[in-house]
Structure formats: C-alpha cells, structure tokens
Amino acid sequence: MSSIFVQTAIFAAGAIAGGGVAAVISSRQRPQVSASPPTVPAVSQVPPPVMDMGPKGGAQITSLAPVGSFTDLPILKYGNPGPIADPIIRKAYVAAYDRRLRHPAWTAEHLTLASLGRSLVAAPSEDESGDRTKSAFVEDESIPKPFRAKLQDYFKSGYDRGHMVPAADAKFSQDAMNETFLLSNIAPQVGEGFNRHYWAYLEDWCRRLTGTFSDVYVFTVPLYLPRRDPDGKWRVTHEVIGTPPNVAVPTHFAKVVLTSKPSSPSTPNILELATGAFVLPNAPIPDGAPLEQFVMPVEAVERAAGLTLFSDAVKASSKHICKATKCEVIVRRFDDARKRPENRRAISAPPQA
C-alpha cells in the first residue's frame, strides 16, 4: 500500500471514529471598564449552503445567510472577538473565508452544461467567454487587510496557488473567471503530482458529470487531519507560509458532490440524487491511483471540517455517486501547469506592499 493510501486510511480511522480535527481554546481577560461602551458591530457565523430537499422532492441549495448574533448579549457589550467567516458571493461560486487560516473554509458551486459553455441550446459567444491568459492572481481587497492572504505569502513558498473553484468552471465570462483568481479562492497546494495533475483530473471529472446529470453541486473543503506519531498519539501538523507566516497549508482537500437528474423521461419532476465525497492528501499522487481509493463518507468530511453540507433528507434519498456513474479520472498531462502562462508569470516577485 502506497503512502498516499496509508494517509487516506488514517483519515478514515481518525475522522470516522470521532478522532477528527478539534481544538478548544479558552482564555479569560479582565475587561477594561468604560463609562461609555463603544458600538459593537454584529458578528455572525456564516453557515455552509446546506443541500436540502425542495418542495417538489428535488435537492435545493439554501441561501447563504448569517445566522445568530451575539450583539445584544450584555457580556459582550464591550466587543465581540468573533470568529468571523467572511461570506463571499461571486458570479460562479459562493464561499466562506477563514481569517485565521487565510484561505477558504469552503467553496460551493453549481455546474451545468450551460454554465460551462457546453450547452448547444445556449452556447456563449466568444465575447462572453473567459480566457485564463487574461486573468491574474490578485489579493482580495474585500477581506480586512490584517487577515488577507497576500501575493508575497506564496512567493518562493514551494506551493502552488491552488484554486478551490477552478478557473475552468467559470468560463462563461471574463469577470467570473477573474474572480476565481482572487486569493480568497486560493489555498497552498503541492504542485507536481497534485494541483497540476491529480487534483486537476478530479476537477475535470466534476465538470464531466454535467454530461450525465442535469445539475452538479460541488463543495471544496480544505482539511487538517490528524496522523498517528511514533509515540502512538494523534496530532495535527501543518506548515504555514508567508513572511511573517500567515497562510496555513492544509493537509488534505475534499471534493464533495451532489448530482441530480430526472428519474425518467416520463417523470421529469421526480429527481434522482447521488452524493459522494473524496478526500485527497496535499501530496503528489500517482496518475494511476484509482479515484475510488479516495472515497470517504460525507459524514466523515462534515465531522472533520465542522460543517453540515447535506441535510439528513438528502443523504437518505441519494445513492452513492460511484453507483450512479463511473468514478474514474482521465489523465491529461498535456495540460501540465508548467506550460500555463500564469505560472510563468509567478516567477517574478510580487510588489512589496
């Protein structure tokens, strides 16, 4: 068994058994008393857009809306420390940005033949389509500067700027494609053998699902998973890049998909659902590794990430994606990232802030 598969097996043992990533940090501070307390802005949690059953029995994605607020609690009248997950709503995707890790906590996208420009009915014109050679990585100025990932963080880090939502998923307009190059959609990924190869094959597989299913929902989730050290204890260890160290390097990445299509031509309003999750280590993966080797229960990903992606109703009514279609990547080495213009531009140092 290769080291890649060993890591996957370790995730199964740790996450499924309840030994996933969890940390509780508590501290006590004596507040400074003020005669006139400042106005405290609302700080809210941003939940993932849960897939739930719609009124007609099909899957529907909930709106991205903050829930809960501590603003009115007397104990926090002098300030609410957070945490804050910045909601990001783009043309091709929605996401929540993790200020502590300085990369997305999760991203969500809805793929169809039309959105990918592959529909014969509504094919986009050349003027409307996006061209990745015209896009460039940029910092996301909508994120507060102290918590913003910077171009300098990735320079000579040894990691690629890995898209969580691929540029190829946003070809319907140049603006949509440009938004995938914002650093709020990026996480550090191993280049050779992963971001430029197997991860790209998985992204392509997600797009190819639109040839079989009418709707494809894709969630991408960076993960920090434990591994057992020689002393028998489980620990989460990861690198942090940047000067000063700012951007966390995930140990694994998950792709979680939900697909739907009419159960039959005679019952177009009755949808057949399929779901599946794949967890890949942030490391080189051989081209010949079978995709099904990385299958994990959706619940294991949810537990490890602290997210709820699908409702119980969706889980109960869906079959596994690998029973609904072939879970097999296509190796396309001709698309090697070393030939891509944006990676050639990455050789130059970014300007100093």
Whether the Cβ atoms of residue 8 and residue 293 lie closer than 8 Å to each other = yes
β-strand pairing of 318-320 with 267-281: parallel
Q: Is residue 246 annotated as involved in ligand binding?
A: no
- Catalytic residue, candidates 163, 197, 238, 252: 163
> DSSP secondary-structure letter at 42?
P
Rounded CA-CA distance 46/222 in Å is 16
The label of the residue with tokens 């070809």 reads: 171
Active site residue 163: yes
**Helix, strand, or coil (residue 54):** coil
CB hemisphere CA count around 344 (13 angstroms): 5
Considering only CA atoms, which of 323, 56, 51, 58 is closest in space to residue 214?
58
Report cis status (omega within 30 of 0) of the bond before 244.
yes
Rounded CA-CA distance 223/86 in Å is 18
Whether the Cβ atoms of residue 262 and residue 275 lie closer than 8 Å to each other = no
Considering only CA atoms, which of 122, 109, 291 is closest in space to residue 216?
109
Whether the Cβ atoms of residue 310 and residue 298 lie closer than 8 Å to each other = yes
The number of helices, as runs of H, and strands, as runs of E, in the chain is 8, 16
Report the catalytic residues. Answer: 163
Binding residues for Mg(2+): 195
Annotated binding site: 195
